[in-house]
Amino acid sequence: MSESVLIASDCKISREELALVPTPAGTATHKPIPHVEVVNTLIETLGFRHISVVRDEYAVSRDGMKMFGVIELDQGMHGARFALGVRNSHDKTFRLAVTVGYRVFVCENLAFSGDFSPVLAKHSKHFSLQNALSVGVDDMQRNFQPMVEGVERWHNSQISDVTARLVIYRAFIEGDLDVPRHLGRSVHELYFNPQHEEFAPRNMWSLSNAFTSAFKELDPIPQYKATGKLAAFLQAGTG
């Protein structure tokens, strides 16, 4: 097993390093897809739609079986660049899936508009990676505008300090958000004492960025997982 696999559970790796992660042999009912093949096909699919990749990063589990990645695009909205999240597993832990999100310029915060959505049921001998990702990318593109509109609503959604504290309390004390509890103090500090002027307004945009800023304390895979669950939690708690 390559060195990049051994260190990947607590650091981000490049696409070139991802190509070194071995793929286990398939069976009659399950054909693992190499992580780098998923990524290359996804990037090719984006290219067919005249969408270019600005930056990408990946992380794999220590055994190389699970992969998460973020692919930043040359399109976006004010203050942020669109991004796709992708995940793949060799051991049937979860299905190949993608999600749409954005990277905030001022702080490099990563946010997803929802959790990872599987693109097809399973990796079988009849599975077409290109067709599956083509459908997945089309679905993601349809989510771009609703995501922009959602961010605008968060900018315009003023919240009281009491509401912000209740959201943080629900996330970390009541455990409504599946993230490490020790991050609660960081979220509280980042929201009430923001490090960037852009997050000074008391609104949902600032609160969401307090969460995603705190998530950067996590290793990459836990960070991607937490980020995927955040939007639904915030929408349920304040909708």
Please give the structure tokens belonging to residue 236. Answer: 């349920």
pLDDT of residue 6: 45
Integer Cα distance of 95 and 88 in angstroms: 6
Which residues is 85 bridged to in the sheet? 70, 99
pLDDT of residue 117: 86
DSSP, collapsed to helix, strand or coil, labels residue 140 as helix
Q: Is the pLDDT reported for residue 66 higher than 80? A: yes
Average pLDDT, the chain: 90
Crossing angle (nearest 10°) for helices 183-192 and 161-172: 170
DSSP, collapsed to helix, strand or coil, labels residue 15 as helix
Per-residue pLDDT band at 4 (split at 50, 70, 90): very low
Q: Is 143 left (phi over 0), alpha (psi -120 to 50) or beta?
A: alpha
The average pLDDT across 136-145 equals 91
Beta carbons of 227 and 112 less than 8 angstroms apart: yes
Q: Is the pLDDT reported for residue 8 higher than 50? A: no
Beta carbons of 136 and 120 less than 8 angstroms apart: no
Per-residue pLDDT band at 22 (split at 50, 70, 90): very high
Percent of the chain exceeding pLDDT 70 equals: 92
pLDDT of 76-98, one tens digit each?
A: 999 999 999 999 999 888 889 99
* pTM of the shown model: 0.88
pLDDT of residue 130: 87
pLDDT of residue 124: 54
Q: Is the pLDDT reported for residue 9 higher than 60? A: no
pLDDT of 25-40, one tens digit each?
A: 878 777 889 999 999 9
Q: Is the pLDDT reported for residue 7 higher than 60? A: no
pLDDT of residue 119: 80
Beta-carbon contacts of residue 28 (< 8 Å; ≥ 6 apart): none
pLDDT of 152-200, one tens digit each?
A: 999 999 999 999 999 999 999 999 999 999 999 999 999 999 999 999 9
The average pLDDT across 133-162 equals 93
pLDDT of 206-234, one tens digit each?
A: 999 999 999 999 999 999 999 999 999 99
